[in-house]
Structure 1
């Protein structure tokens, strides 16, 4: 429990939340002390849950003493929907709001930039907070590898009663030490002592955050964060547009079109998360989902093999090569074996019979280009993911398959191939769906975890 003059400051604050006009008058008189106490409370080495437990304990005493109606604390909406100065002050004391997803290849970060800061809040705002906000929102690149995906920014979002913009930032995981160092130089720990993070890197870099950044990581389950992030972003939409979409005529470059898809009633759905590896989840409701299976052959496999086979150095370079390649020079097709279709089992001649099967021939190895190898690698990985997703969908009796993850970033080749393959091999029973924010859902889920706890 806070020491010093906590009761005269907190009592009117609690009375105000309970609806007492006397409390509102007293709260105004003690505004400075209340604000200072809440700010310092947020920086102590205690969990937010502990602080809220104390808060609830005192609230119960106040309610009992003044015969006030009880507040329902079973739902975080009690705090999120309240716009009174007390709750606003409490939530503001936890700015800045971040969510981190530290993956095997990329770190994804989401940052909520408040746009409804009052003149009074701005006057009381510490320099470190202003500096961090300015740095993140005035740049689109950070160092040589950090990128803010401006085209994905969500504008005029209302989160916990505050209006603002949600920014999406990514950088390679191998640059995490530099990120922690930057946070230390900007004195981030003076504002927060804990960051909400998910992904395997939340465990791998936990000690680095503690020793280099003076920060504790609140580690959240990555699949919980993924599902929560997907459902939340789809519910708020993409600046007035649909977050979810699908392709018509995906293999026809001239006729291929992208159409919005309404996920208003999303359940059940199969969620295929393609990052360095792949996880496949069956989602039956917001609280009922399971990991069905996965595969180690994912985006990391594609990029790693391309680095070996072509000498490329970035994911973007690998995809650019693939866009100019011809995989049929590398793969052995059904028609290469049968001279045409294998009609008895419905296998068309253009289907891949053996990925990289032509590379057994020295003559064919010498005739292929790096672009051909990159394209064949992309087709191999994508076909494998599509095949596993199809089997999972059939086993779970689910006909909507949602593909997410940073493997799909700027990767229209794979998206169109997945759309076509699921439709073709299921005879139109399965639909491949995609989301605009691709690989950021885990980070969004971590941000929501922070706000739920606060």
Structure 2
């Protein structure tokens, strides 16, 4: 503990974490800097095998291999180890079933000496990632989420957030090979199921190893970290005021300064629900296979759409009551005994057993009904878990919520209505990127002193 405290500066920031971590993650900073992070294993004796965890001497540069690329990489590793930080570039990657999420730290404090010594392919990678907002047909940099003037491992820079479909992974790996990424790093920190699925492709196509990280650890650590730093002066966490009035509900900032316990609902291709009691104490309560992948897959099947954005656009124009059978369709109005409003869904897609109804609906109606069906199911499961676990703070994250105001409002309303105002649905601006941020933090953690 004394050793850990010795690496924290007056503001509480350790040598390998961004400013703002004095909060802790909010209350955890007393554990100290880098060592606050899963401290039972370190670079010298733990399980991490990231390349820069090995402490090299200058002689090793000449002794290890003869290729110029390898000698260049080894020199950079030696210098990085001396500075107690990994060599650039700094990436974290979350390879999901539908989307790949990538975070990239762009240093803004590069000295003239560093600029002169910087190898050309490192410059090329930085220019490519930061000068574009779109990559090919499907890659996107979410500029509005960029975290500016962040300090990580003693370096100041901007954190960029990039996503592309998992089906484009082989093109991404080929790009890494074309840009000779393996001359800069031999190992990438990655989480998500794709870290296992594509491991051999990275090895054979780009001469890169993947350090496979637990996706739920990365999710929680990344979330707590991002919430602990300023979102360019704006709050990270928010809820919807007056969720029962879905047309006029107001986005209201709130604080996660005391986040525990919380029920964390991660909505990606599928859904995982976690009860989180501290940074390292959590359990997976349950989950469901009916998630964002289900919504998009069925929308593609039923409407002929091709992308998540197209499916949401159709849903925004549709009317799910043309597809779903409501309480009022059965009772003629409200079911007052159980406080069920007539507008509540009694049977999702219940009208579709009628040929007359099938002939009258639009594809937009089908998309809206599918979105409502998936969202209501997630909200119902989340509420039951919150009640069973006796947790009042419910946080929804995941890329299913990206540009998805319909689901955000439905979840907020469901939590408020069924709990009689006792449960609030909380949301975070960086929705689906927390796993990738957690992978980046693991990269930085692995450079700590043994």
The match for 1:338 is: 331
Could you tell me how far apart the structure 1 residues matched to 2:388 and 2:80 are?
47
The match for 1:111 is: 104
TM-score of the pair, normalised by structure 2: 0.82
Determine helix, strand or coil for the equivalent of 1:129. Answer: helix
Contact 1:48 1:453 in 2 (8 A): no
Contact 2:240 2:252 in 1 (8 A): yes
Could you tell me how far apart the structure 2 residues matched to 1:439 and 1:339 are?
41
Are residues 1:238 and 2:231 paired?
Answer: yes
Contact 1:108 1:440 in 2 (8 A): yes
How far apart are residue 344 of structure 1 and its match?
1.6
The match for 1:172 is: 165
How far apart are residue 417 of structure 1 and its match?
0.6
Count of aligned pairs: 381
Over the aligned positions, Cα root-mean-square deviation in angstroms equals: 1.8
Contact 1:148 1:169 in 2 (8 A): yes
The match for 1:30 is: none
Could you tell me how far apart the structure 2 residues matched to 1:441 and 1:349 are?
39
Determine helix, strand or coil for the equivalent of 2:279. Answer: coil
Could you tell me how far apart the structure 1 residues matched to 2:81 and 2:107 are?
12
How far apart are residue 324 of structure 1 and its match?
0.6
Could you tell me how far apart the structure 2 residues matched to 1:217 and 1:375 are?
39
Could you tell me how far apart the structure 1 residues matched to 2:370 and 2:312 are?
10
Determine which structure has more spread, i.e. the larger CA radius of gyration: 1
Are residues 1:440 and 2:443 paired?
Answer: no
* Unaligned ranges ≥5, structure 2: 1-6, 8-47, 58-77
The match for 2:120 is: 127
The match for 2:403 is: 410
Q: Kindly tell me: are residues 49 and 169 of structure 1, through their superposed partners in 2, closer, same or farther at Cα, counting changes over 3 Å?
A: closer
Contact 2:393 2:424 in 1 (8 A): yes
Structure with the higher fraction of residues in helix conformation? 1
C-alpha deviations, 1:388-427, integer Å up to 9, x for none?
Answer: 0000000111111100000000000000010011000000
Could you tell me how far apart the structure 2 residues matched to 1:49 and 1:186 are?
21
C-alpha deviations, 1:161-213, integer Å up to 9, x for none?
Answer: 11000000000000000000000000000000000000000000000000001
Could you tell me how far apart the structure 2 residues matched to 1:50 and 1:264 are?
33
C-alpha deviations, 1:325-370, integer Å up to 9, x for none?
Answer: 1101100111111111112222111111100001000000101110
Q: Kindly tell me: are residues 421 and 449 of structure 1, through their superposed partners in 2, closer, same or farther at Cα, counting changes over 3 Å?
A: same
The match for 2:372 is: 379
Q: Kindly tell me: are residues 268 and 302 of structure 1, through their superposed partners in 2, closer, same or farther at Cα, counting changes over 3 Å?
A: same
Are residues 1:292 and 2:281 paired?
Answer: no
Determine helix, strand or coil for the equivalent of 1:233. Answer: helix
Contact 2:51 2:185 in 1 (8 A): no
TM-score of the pair, normalised by structure 1: 0.81
Could you tell me how far apart the structure 2 residues matched to 1:162 and 1:412 are?
36
Could you tell me how far apart the structure 1 residues matched to 2:381 and 2:104 are?
34
Could you tell me how far apart the structure 1 residues matched to 2:272 and 2:85 are?
36
* Unaligned ranges ≥5, structure 1: 1-16, 18-44, 56-84
Could you tell me how far apart the structure 2 residues matched to 1:422 and 1:384 are?
12
Could you tell me how far apart the structure 2 residues matched to 1:366 and 1:87 are?
66
The match for 2:189 is: 196
The match for 2:267 among 252, 271, 274 is: 274
The match for 2:241 among 241, 245, 248 is: 248
How far apart are residue 89 of structure 1 and its match?
5.1
